[in-house]
Amino acid sequence: MYRSNTCGELRASHIGSEVILSGWVHKLRDKGFVAWVDLRDRYGITQLVFDEERTSKELLEQARELGRETVIQAKGQIIERASKNPNIPTGEIEVLVTELTILNTSLLPPFTIEDDTDGGEDIRMKYRYLDIRRNPVKNNLIFRHKVSMEVRKYLSDQGFIDVETPYLIKSTPEGARDFLVPSRMNEGQFYALPQSPQTFKQLLMVGGMDKYFQIVKCFRDEDLRADRQPEFTQIDCEMAFVEQEDILNTFEGLTKHLLKEIKGVDIQEFPRMTYDDAMHLYGNDKPDIRFGMQFGELNAVAQHKDFNVFNSAELVVGIAVPGASEYTRKEIDALIDWVKRPQVGAKGMVYVKCNEDGSYKSSVDKFYDQDDLAKWAEVTGANPGDLICVLSGDANVTRTQLSALRMELATRLGLRKPNEFAPLWVVDFPLLELDEETGTYHAMHHPFTSPKPGQLELLETNPGAVKANAYDLVLNGNEIGGGSIRIHDKETQATMFKHLGFTPEEAKAQFGFLMDAFQYGAPPHGGIAFGLDRLVSILGGQETIRDFIAFPKNNSGRDVMIDAPAKIDEAQLKELHIKLDL
Amino acid sequence: MYRSNTCGELRASHIGSEVILSGWVHKLRDKGFVAWVDLRDRYGITQLVFDEERTSKELLEQARELGRETVIQAKGQIIERASKNPNIPTGEIEVLVTELTILNTSLLPPFTIEDDTDGGEDIRMKYRYLDIRRNPVKNNLIFRHKVSMEVRKYLSDQGFIDVETPYLIKSTPEGARDFLVPSRMNEGQFYALPQSPQTFKQLLMVGGMDKYFQIVKCFRDEDLRADRQPEFTQIDCEMAFVEQEDILNTFEGLTKHLLKEIKGVDIQEFPRMTYDDAMHLYGNDKPDIRFGMQFGELNAVAQHKDFNVFNSAELVVGIAVPGASEYTRKEIDALIDWVKRPQVGAKGMVYVKCNEDGSYKSSVDKFYDQDDLAKWAEVTGANPGDLICVLSGDANVTRTQLSALRMELATRLGLRKPNEFAPLWVVDFPLLELDEETGTYHAMHHPFTSPKPGQLELLETNPGAVKANAYDLVLNGNEIGGGSIRIHDKETQATMFKHLGFTPEEAKAQFGFLMDAFQYGAPPHGGIAFGLDRLVSILGGQETIRDFIAFPKNNSGRDVMIDAPAKIDEAQLKELHIKLDL
């Protein structure tokens, strides 16, 4: 037996007991005649004490030699601490050691195993197993476990069945890029790793499973943007005999449950907003509504004067930044520089200071009088003390730019509070999205999403106007879930594939099994998928998903700890009937 | 709203209520003036009634046209059935339909959606989504869900943390064959899919995670034997600061919990048996101990006469088949033919009938007298009325043959009762296994298994004799779990790799990260993994794991429903820097 107790559980009530503890030497304080060791395991830290009087001299000498991260087993008696530490749960006691065994030695770790480590990202990833010993990473992983357990418990209690779907499936190359797996037994053929279990969960609905969920790894071979992973985890769900309202209610229930159980936050009803409103009010289909600064469209009150920049713009739009009228010229110039950065791309920014005395001072006073500016304040909802920031130009582009500015300012103003939670349903997404480069439409959600009732015909005449039974759940400015009511009849599905540029042969080759299935009594169905990595990071009040993944990959898709991917023996490739083509 | 209730929940207490149900037309009984429809969903069947008097004529006509598996929505009033059906929970009521909506049509399914279907395995796999509508398959999947949930609940309650490990890892080709995934971003390099998360769970222990579990897909590119799948699911577990005893107790607890919660079976302590005893007593390292028929080794009492077949054999060994002394000559000849089949491969079989009067009649009466045979009966534990079956030859081969005969006879005698559960720990496995073909040793469990204390030196002199801290959990003659205490220091691990034929360079290239990790304070640790597919099928009292997998692959590793694997576009291969080599 390596231990009778963990390092996190001993209290004053245990004083007098004999215990055996095992763990890592976290810290050693050596006063010569007495030494204290902080012994650490997953559960906490317990202080071990060795001294000349009460323990043997040999034991004290042995303790004084202990290096950081040495793995030891200590036997001893729990005694009351002379100087108590109210900051840790075990702070009232210490263990007077009578036996000490070194279970394993340790080299000096390449970074300190402390909450605030001296190790940079790269070295921590290479030695991730040491990084995981640190409280912040360890606690994130335990937090993720708790969220997963609560998700499973809630959905199972609601009658959802966890069904495992296959990982070795078929490539459907029209969407994101698939990871491929050459088949040894089927020469010249390949499996693909699933981008999601989409078609399988739909087949489960055709199969009468009624309510399905799975927490499942998905794979996308994309060029990795910051904080994307080639493998990621989805809470994948599907229900039969449902309308959009049923899905929204069910998964609003799940999200409320998580917020309540995990964060102790009670939220009543989640607000809902159409995609069009989200774009108009926030320039963004995943608005952060923890704070205001809604967009005010100023065309009507800004295009009647001689200011040509505005007059020639498709859209003039502004936001009122609370309490920012006192920004100095220098601060405002910095803001203008910020929107002109290539990442944002605005040509400039007009501003209006709403002074406390009710007057206005703007960068376009030459064109607009106080009455004009008062109207701008009205439209943007600006109060005395606020700063109105106005951008103009092509409507879509300008909205995106102003959205970026809104988020930046909110961050600077401390309005994006990590422990405040503002969920929002965004509904009525467009069915199709125009690819500006190719001029063709592709599915905004995926090809299985059903258009709104009665809008199928619009596909022929005005495809961009067709709305879908598609919805996203947004939390604090992040899309944490998205889904749709699916097509469940073969004809509509075939029509969709046609409009997405599939030939009938391509549609049959890739999705024939699904369209076949639809002919055998497919029920109406729909679902949703949550990004678990993102969800836990937001619930955890943090930004980067990597901190909530035990063994993440870097931006080149590499695992730097195990050094993968790697070169392969010729013999292995031969067996798989492939060769390199470099 | 598609439904107010499911088809499984309405009872006599609901009589008088208005309901809306949705589901599939399971059966139609049409008497002309009245028609009944069995409406089916996941939850059950509810009878709908249409008749001339109480429903409109149009509705009755519409109902009479309903084909099997049509998806309908029916609104109506719950009434008491004239003739009740005590065999189904909804048998006291029926729904008098006032509105009928056809939600989707169905072609005639290629097999009947009944518990006993007329569809063969191949057609059912191709249309798996229809197969899943059948109770046996549907219930198996729900059963699997329940087992998974209980496993997670139990382990989580015991302090285990569910940590997701990566799927895109590095190939380690010395064991089973890996599935490979070419990397687009890292030209000429490949990921591998994990055969198990073994090294990652060990790194989690180095990382102080203390108790880890995960229900996780694993992948092995093997030529598929019957009832093996290229992707399979493991309950993967690891603990730090444990000895073998701790692991056995913890997972005996899990297994007891499952037997109790899922099957209502209380089992006290699981028996334990060494590998050597299992081989001697049952000829098998996963003995089915639901029944006796232990081996009796007869060399001492059978090699003193002139029967050369026995005298020249390394081993003479028999079993007593209960109540089989009445087998006819024909039955015994059939048994002899059975052991001579190439799959078993015995040269012949000697038998002794233990007559009810205490006398013996054997096929070797010419060599052995009644006293000899009485000794055989004593050694094999045969009672009057039993039949002793004796095989002889090379010890290992003969044990395997007699084990096969023992299992076959138990099946014939009905001793392998699917709802009786006999768990057994088999311990003290050999560390290494001799590959008869190559004459080299390989790891019986895996290269990370630790030898028994003090046996490391034996590796040099008698590698086959080294025992490991390795254990299997056997249930009803199936290995459902296996694990070991791991090596946790770099030197021992390096020694192991050397003995397994790795050069130091190969060991470093493939497992350098693990040996590095062992230098930074790796704790003693060990674990176990259960095959979930097998576990649920045994708990479910069935034989084939395929029946408990939603979308299984066939023996060529193909998913015949989606038709995967499949050919891939040249462009996709090009991007991955590979080409076909056929």
Mean pLDDT by 10 residues, chain A (582 residues): 97 97 97 96 98 91 97 98 95 97 97 95 96 98 98 98 98 85 96 97 98 98 85 98 98 98 96 98 97 98 96 98 95 96 96 97 97 98 98 97 98 94 97 87 91 90 94 97 97 92 92 96 98 97 93 94 94 94 90
User: Distance (Å, rounded) from C-alpha A391 to C-alpha B411?
Assistant: 81
Q: Does A171 touch chain B (CB under 8 A)?
A: yes
How many contacts, defined by CB atoms under 8 Å, are there between A and B?
A: 366
Q: Does A344 touch chain B (CB under 8 A)?
A: no
Contact B561, B551 (CB under 8 A): yes
Q: Does A189 touch chain B (CB under 8 A)?
A: yes
Domain ranges of chain B: 12-104, 138-241+527-582, 264-274+418-522, 291-412
Q: Does B4 touch chain A (CB under 8 A)?
A: no
- CATH of region B138-241+527-582: 3.30.930.10
Closest Cα in chain A, distance from residue B581 (Å): 5
| DSSP secondary structure string for all residues of A176-195 | SPPPEEE-SSSTT-EEE--S
Fill in the DSSP letter of residue A551.
S
Q: Give the residue from chain B lying closest to A24, CA to CA.
A: B521
Fill in the DSSP letter of residue A209.
-
What pLDDT was estimated at residue A460?
87
How do residues A156-198 score in pLDDT, each as one tens digit?
A: 999 999 999 999 999 986 678 999 999 999 999 999 999 999 9
What pLDDT was estimated at residue B560?
96
pLDDT of residue B175 exceeding 80, the answer is no
Q: Give the residue from chain A lying closest to B24, CA to CA.
A: A521
A chain contacts of residue B236, beta-carbon cutoff 8 Å? none
B chain contacts of residue A505, beta-carbon cutoff 8 Å? none
Query: Among partner residues A191, A521, A568, which is closest to B565 by beta-carbon distance?
Result: A191
Q: Residue B75, Cβ neighbours under 10 Å: how many?
A: 16
Q: Does A187 touch chain B (CB under 8 A)?
A: yes
Q: Give the residue from chain A lying closest to B517, CA to CA.
A: A129
Q: Give the residue from chain B lying closest to A71, CA to CA.
A: B521
How do residues B83-132 score in pLDDT, each as one tens digit?
A: 999 999 999 999 999 999 999 999 999 999 999 999 999 999 999 999 99
**Mean predicted lDDT score pLDDT of chain B:** 96
| SS3 at position B127 | coil
Per-residue pLDDT, averaged over B229-246, amounts to: 97
What pLDDT was estimated at residue A174?
65
Contact B577, B182 (CB under 8 A): yes
Q: Does B109 touch chain A (CB under 8 A)?
A: yes
Q: Residue B332, Cβ neighbours under 10 Å: how many?
A: 17
Q: Give the residue from chain B lying closest to A245, CA to CA.
A: B1
Sign of the Cα pseudo-torsion (A384, A385, A391, A396, in order)? negative
User: Distance (Å, rounded) from C-alpha B261 to C-alpha B343?
Assistant: 39
**Chain B from 504 to 523: CB within 8 A of any A CB:** 512-513, 517-523
What type of residue sits at position A228? R
Q: How far is CA B380 from CA A185, A316, A569, B373, in A?
A: 46, 96, 53, 10
Where do the H-state alpha helices sit in A381-447?
Answer: 395-412
A chain contacts of residue B229, beta-carbon cutoff 8 Å? none
| SS3 at position B526 | strand
Q: How far is CA B197 from CA B164, B192, B215, B219, B333, in A?
A: 9, 12, 10, 10, 49
Query: Among partner residues B132, B178, B557, which is closest to A186 by beta-carbon distance?
Result: B557
What pLDDT was estimated at residue B224?
74
pLDDT of residue B197 exceeding 90, the answer is yes
Closest Cα in chain A, distance from residue B222 (Å): 9
- Tell me the angle at which helices B504-518 and B198-206 cross, rounded to the nearest 10 degrees: 40
Per-residue pLDDT, averaged over B35-39, amounts to: 98
Per-residue pLDDT, averaged over B400-405, amounts to: 98
pLDDT of residue B439 exceeding 90, the answer is no
| DSSP bridge pairs for A566 | B190
Closest Cα in chain B, distance from residue A104 (Å): 6
pLDDT of residue B173 exceeding 80, the answer is no
User: Distance (Å, rounded) from C-alpha B72 to C-alpha B105?
Assistant: 9
Q: Residue A306, Cβ neighbours under 10 Å: how many?
A: 9
Q: What kind of architecture, by CATH, is found in domain A264-274+418-522?
A: 2-Layer Sandwich (3.30)
Residue given tokens 């079956």 in the structure block: B389
What pLDDT was estimated at residue A438?
84
Closest Cα in chain A, distance from residue B95 (Å): 19
Q: Does A72 touch chain B (CB under 8 A)?
A: no
| SS3 at position A573 | helix
What pLDDT was estimated at residue B438?
84
User: Distance (Å, rounded) from C-alpha B257 to C-alpha B255?
Assistant: 5
Token pair for residue B62?
A: 């519409």
Token pair for residue A549?
A: 């993944």
How do residues A315-370 score in pLDDT, each as one tens digit?
A: 999 999 999 999 999 999 999 999 999 999 999 999 999 999 999 999 999 999 99
How do residues B323-366 score in pLDDT, each as one tens digit?
A: 999 999 999 999 999 999 999 999 999 999 999 999 999 999 99
Closest Cα in chain B, distance from residue A147 (Å): 10
Residue given tokens 């080794």 in the structure block: B297
Residue given tokens 């691990």 in the structure block: B493
Sign of the Cα pseudo-torsion (A551, A555, A557, A562, in order)? negative
Contact B72, B101 (CB under 8 A): yes
| Residue A369 burial class via C-beta count within 10 angstroms: exposed 0-12, middle 13-18, buried 19 and up | exposed
pLDDT of residue B376 exceeding 70, the answer is yes
- For the CA atoms of A106, A107, A111, A117, what is the dihedral angle to 10 degrees? 20
User: Distance (Å, rounded) from C-alpha A332 to C-alpha A458?
Assistant: 46
Q: What is the per-residue burial (b if ≥16 Cβ within 10 Å, else e) of B371-406?
A: ebbbbbbebbbbeebbbbbbbbbebeebbbbbbbbb
Among candidate residues B474, B571, B582, the one with its CA nearest the CA of residue B528: B474
Q: In this structure, which topology does domain B291-412 adopt according to CATH?
A: Gyrase A; domain 2 (3.30.1360)
Contact A551 B166 (CB under 8 A): yes
| DSSP bridge pairs for A75 | A20, A99
What pLDDT was estimated at residue B440?
86
Q: Does B123 touch chain A (CB under 8 A)?
A: no
On the question of a common fold for A138-241+527-582 and A264-274+418-522, the answer reads yes
Confidence class for position B174, pLDDT limits 50, 70, 90: low
Which CATH number is correct for B12-104, 2.40.50.140, 3.30.1490.20, 1.10.760.10, 1.10.510.10?
A: 2.40.50.140
Query: What is the reported pTM?
Result: 0.96
Three-state SS annotation for B21-43: EEEEEEEEEECCCEEEEEEEECC
| SS3 at position A49 | strand
Output the furthest CA–CA distance in chain A (Å, rounded). 92
Contact B129 A1 (CB under 8 A): no
In this structure, are strands A387-393 and A350-354 parallel, antiparallel, or unpaired? antiparallel
Where do the H-state alpha helices sit in B196-328?
Answer: 198-206, 244-263, 275-282, 299-302, 308-311
